[in-house]
A and B are shown apart, each in its own frame.
Chain A
Amino acid sequence: MSNNISRRDLFKVSGATAVGISLSSLLAACGGSSSDSAISGKTLKVGLMGPYSGDVAQYGLAVRNGAKLYFKQFNKKGGTSTGKKISLIVQDEKGDATEAVNVYQKMAESNVVAVLGDVTSTPSIAVAQEAVKDNMPLVSASATAADFIKYGKNAFRACYTDPYQGKLMADFAAKKGYKTLCTIYNSGGDYEKGVNDAFVKEAKKKGLKIATQESYSAGDVDFKAQLANIIAKKPDAVLSPNYYQDDGKIVTQARQLGYTGVFLGADGWANIVGGDEDYASGKDLEGCFYDTSFVSANTDKSVQQFIKDYKAEYNADPTNFCALGYDAAMILCDAINKVEKAGKAKTYKDYKQAVIDAIAKGTVKGVTGTIKYEGTGDPVKSTLIIGFKDGKEYIETTM
């Protein structure tokens, strides 16, 4: 979900990379070998970075809160099986790719064994390009951009990608027995377009009919022309993979035009009801479905425990980003614990490789689903399909 926020900074990546390259060559020139002491002490250093000020600070702070909560719990339970505690180095990158690379460099210099970051897509890509040179274990809670894991085997993410959600919702549509589908999406948004295109591709593969794909531009408020076209095709379900403010208007206007069928959505729907505002009425949302990885309505014991702990710590309700931060920390701690247990990695260099291998092979039962990796940095995780019934959200199924 986060790439939508950061794409305006796209041009900064190239600049950041150039700075990064010159910095790292400088480092290589004066690099020492005293770094092995980093893994022999009583504490292991882990870097935690994200935007804690600036335009996208809300996401960075949410991830940080979730991650810090898990690290705190991990240390409280005694740390690793060998009794080592995690000490965090937390730094703000202000949502800026150049700043993010600088922050990463500082963390690498202080010999962290892994980095949890970054939060939004553009700085995350810049950091990934740097981290691969150090073979640094890198886990992002929320970087959805495809490129983030492209540079090396050291980068992992806890969230799923936009295309993954599109494919998943198409599979769900097939499972539900919908035959004729239409879509309406913001053609100017990477997130919306990413979900839509993957949905259409998978639906066609499954033999479902895509009757029409209607698009609109960012800022539009009137969707009736496109919706009238859709309704004329008599679809079984309509995909609206946009952010909740638009989705709310689309659903409401479609009902005004007399459409009584199903709407499908992606995790951009997550705030459509239940927050400060309800963006569509319960009556209009009846029978609609969307996918998400975290919902507070989940009755799973560990999820409810997380919500309780989070509230106790921060006196606020956790969002999807908080839960992903928590899970990213869990993935890291699980891997570090395994490396400690095996006790085979003697040098700093081997230790980092061992952590990467442990993440790649591990399975973690997080609050956003069971997460494992199958040869890439993209998680294979269970996803919740949320439905609306009598004006309330419920979990339809897990996929």
Chain B
Amino acid sequence: MTFLTQLLNGLQLGSIYALVALGYTMVYGIILLLNFAHGDIIMVGAYISWIVMAKLGMSPALAVVLSVAGCTLLGVLIDKVAYAPLRNAPRLSILITAIGVSYFLENGAQLVFGADAKVVPAFISTSTIKVGGVSLSLNAIITIIVTAVCTVVLQLLVQKTKLGKAMRAVSEDMGAARLMGINVNTTISFTFALGSALAGIGAVLYSMAYSQATPTMGIMLGTKAFVAAVLGGIGSIPGAVIGGLLVGFAEVFVSALGLSVWKDAVVFLLLIIVLVVKPTGILGRTMNEKV
């Protein structure tokens, strides 16, 4: 019974990591940018939920909508302001810009909201359901279902739609895609919107599970999700999910064994092992470096 609970805990934590990792993977897949501000977009999403519910007293449903919309807008805005002007600059410049955006969001949030944790009210009133004598967290079940649905929708979108085809084309060769009549800038913006919308959903699920928003909450979450994305093979959608679940399970089982102090070490060790054995990650394809 405890094992079952731990399994569910691992699935829930892993699902959140997976959702965040999807955002990393999408953006990396298309412009080869490690968007370090991704974790901080989630932080902003959590604060939006807090403002809508705790400050304005509006409904949780509205908080979900506004958080996802807010994150999407923020993601596109960041791309337009910080990354788009550097589209043809060396990749290192844009990477450093991403770090700058990350710091800007963290310190901005601290300036506006203060360093203290803000408590995000509960999205749903009943927190547990009983199934055959076992208490299951409703939050956990919702988180797992939402992540599963998001992954399937995303996969369909990328593989089956015209926009998805455009994304894949831009990802393979930006110049050639442009020559084929694909609007590269719109495609990239759409990717950022999609990744940030996922971050918004992640923010809601994170707030549901941990109920507190702090300016620095995105740092570790982002780092872990980045590890998950690399573990699964960055650029690959199923890979991000597998990576996220692996990291989530690893953390929960290490903590369950009473070794919580070693939790982060185990996650990063996992990353090192995978990178040594299979440098492109579990589902990664070999990239031909453009010289």
Give chain A's interface residues, CB within 8 Å of chain B. Answer: 187-188, 212, 214-217, 219-222, 224-226, 228-229, 231-232, 245, 248-249, 252-253, 255-258, 276-279, 281
> Which of B119, B127, B211, B252 is A224 in contact with, Cβ under 8 Å?
B252
How many whole Å from A251's CB to the nearest CB in chain B? 11
> Which of B119, B137, B210, B256 is A226 in contact with, Cβ under 8 Å?
B256
> Which of A217, A232, A248 is B212 in contact with, Cβ under 8 Å?
A248
Say yes or no: is B261 at the interface (Cβ < 8 Å to chain A): yes
Say yes or no: is B88 at the interface (Cβ < 8 Å to chain A): no
Is A228 touching B256 in the complex (CB atoms < 8 A)? Answer: yes
Give chain B's interface residues, CB within 8 Å of chain A. Answer: 1-2, 5-6, 9-10, 12-13, 116-119, 122, 127-128, 130, 135, 137-140, 209-212, 217, 220, 251-253, 255-256, 258, 260-261, 263-264
Nearest residue (CB) in B for A232 is B2
Majority secondary structure of chain B interface residues (helix, strand, loop or mixed): helix
Assembly CA distance A324 to B227 (angstroms): 47
Given A228-B2, A277-B119, are A221 and B212 also a contact pair (CB < 8 Å)? Answer: yes
Counting chain A CB atoms within 10 Å of each CB, the highest count among B1, B5, B251, B255 belongs to B255
Assembly CA distance A219 to B217 (angstroms): 9
Is B212 touching A256 in the complex (CB atoms < 8 A)? Answer: no
Assembly CA distance A342 to B255 (angstroms): 62
30 contacts between A and B (CB under 8 A): A214-B258, A215-B261, A216-B255, A216-B260, A217-B260, A217-B263, A219-B220, A221-B210, A222-B251, A224-B12, A225-B9, A225-B10, A225-B251, A225-B256, A225-B260, A226-B256, A226-B260, A228-B5, A229-B2, A229-B256, A232-B1, A245-B212, A249-B211, A256-B137, A257-B128, A257-B135, A258-B128, A258-B130, A279-B117, A279-B212
> Which of A217, A252, A258, A279 is B135 in contact with, Cβ under 8 Å?
A258
Nearest residue (CB) in A for B12 is A224
Give the residues in chain A near B117, CB-CB below 8 Å: 245, 277, 279
Is A249 touching B210 in the complex (CB atoms < 8 A)? Answer: yes
Given A215-B258, A217-B261, A226-B260, are A256 and B128 also a contact pair (CB < 8 Å)? Answer: yes
Give the residues in chain A near B135, CB-CB below 8 Å: 257-258
Nearest residue (CB) in B for A278 is B119
Assembly CA distance A372 to B124 (angstroms): 50
How many whole Å from A271's CB to the nearest CB in chain B? 10
Is B5 touching A257 in the complex (CB atoms < 8 A)? Answer: yes
Nearest residue (CB) in B for A259 is B135
Give the residues in chain A near B210, CB-CB below 8 Å: 221-222, 249, 253
> Which of B137, B220, B252 is A257 in contact with, Cβ under 8 Å?
B137
Nearest residue (CB) in B for A212 is B258
Give the residues in chain B near A187, CB-CB below 8 Å: 260-261
Nearest residue (CB) in B for A220 is B260
Counting chain B CB atoms within 10 Å of each CB, the highest count among A255, A256, A277, A279 belongs to A256
Is A252 touching B116 in the complex (CB atoms < 8 A)? Answer: no
Give the residues in chain B near A256, CB-CB below 8 Å: 127-128, 137-140
Given A220-B260, A225-B256, A258-B135, are A249 and B6 also a contact pair (CB < 8 Å)? Answer: no
Nearest residue (CB) in A for B255 is A225
Nearest residue (CB) in B for A233 is B2
Give the residues in chain B near A217, CB-CB below 8 Å: 260-261, 263-264
Assembly CA distance A311 to B78 (angstroms): 46
How many whole Å from B15's CB to the nearest CB in chain A? 12
Give the residues in chain B near A226, CB-CB below 8 Å: 255-256, 260
How many whole Å from B283's CB to the nearest CB in chain A? 26
Nearest residue (CB) in B for A188 is B261
Is A255 touching B261 in the complex (CB atoms < 8 A)? Answer: no
How many whole Å from A185's CB to the nearest CB in chain B? 11
Give the residues in chain B near A278, CB-CB below 8 Å: 119
How many whole Å from B255's CB to the nearest CB in chain A? 4
Assembly CA distance A255 to B135 (angstroms): 10
**Nearest 8 interchain pairs by C-beta:** A258-B135, A225-B255, A232-B2, A224-B9, A225-B256, A228-B5, A225-B252, A256-B127
Assembly CA distance A240 to B212 (angstroms): 18
Assembly CA distance A374 to B212 (angstroms): 44
Q: A225-B256, A276-B116 are known; give 20 further A-B pairs, CB within 8 A.
A: A187-B261, A188-B261, A217-B260, A221-B217, A222-B9, A222-B13, A222-B209, A222-B255, A224-B252, A225-B255, A226-B256, A232-B5, A245-B117, A248-B212, A253-B210, A256-B127, A256-B139, A258-B130, A278-B119, A279-B119
Give the residues in chain B near A220, CB-CB below 8 Å: 260, 263
How many whole Å from B192's CB to the nearest CB in chain A? 27
Assembly CA distance A37 to B209 (angstroms): 66
Give the residues in chain A near B9, CB-CB below 8 Å: 222, 224-225, 228
Is B116 touching A277 in the complex (CB atoms < 8 A)? Answer: yes
How many whole Å from A138's CB to the nearest CB in chain B? 33
Counting chain B CB atoms within 10 Å of each CB, the highest count among A217, A225, A229, A256 belongs to A225
Assembly CA distance A281 to B127 (angstroms): 12
Assembly CA distance A219 to B9 (angstroms): 18
How many whole Å from A326's CB to the nearest CB in chain B? 25
> Which of A216, A258, A277 is B118 in contact with, Cβ under 8 Å?
A277
Assembly CA distance A219 to B258 (angstroms): 17
Give the residues in chain B near A279, CB-CB below 8 Å: 117, 119, 212
Is B253 touching A225 in the complex (CB atoms < 8 A)? Answer: yes
How many whole Å from A272's CB to the nearest CB in chain B? 10
How many whole Å from A152's CB to the nearest CB in chain B? 37
Give the residues in chain B near A276, CB-CB below 8 Å: 116
